Amino acid sequence: MYFAKLKGCPSSPRKMRYVVDLIRGMEVNRALGVLRFSKKAAAADVEKLLRSAINNWEQKNERKAEDGELYVSRVFVDEGVTMKRMRPAPQGRGYRIRKRSNHVTLFVDAKANDEK
């Protein structure tokens, strides 16, 4: 099982979870296609992360991944730091803005072969 992490991504964890839920358990080539044509802005970050995890697997196994061999085994999104900002409001008040961030961890694994 090989993984890649994305820390401090500047979007809310809720928005990122929508994208991550699309590819959970999917074969990696199909997941890359889904992410490539998704309209969500977070999909570009997840696609880059998935490519990184595939590359990590290929480096450790010293060979290229074959079609249908790898799949997204686990992926989860954690809440990162929240920057607090103030926005001017009427009558001398200030509204608080919370700029959220998230951490994504993505695991890829090879499908177990029946020969082993």
Tell me which DSSP letter residue 69 carries.
T
**Mean pLDDT split into 10-residue runs, the chain, 116 residues:** 93 96 94 95 96 93 86 95 96 96 95 56
Predicted pLDDT at 115: 42
Predicted pLDDT at 67: 83
Q: What is the value of pTM for the model shown?
A: 0.88
d(CA 4, CA 31): 15
With CA atoms as reference, report the closest residue to 23 among 51, 61, 56.
51
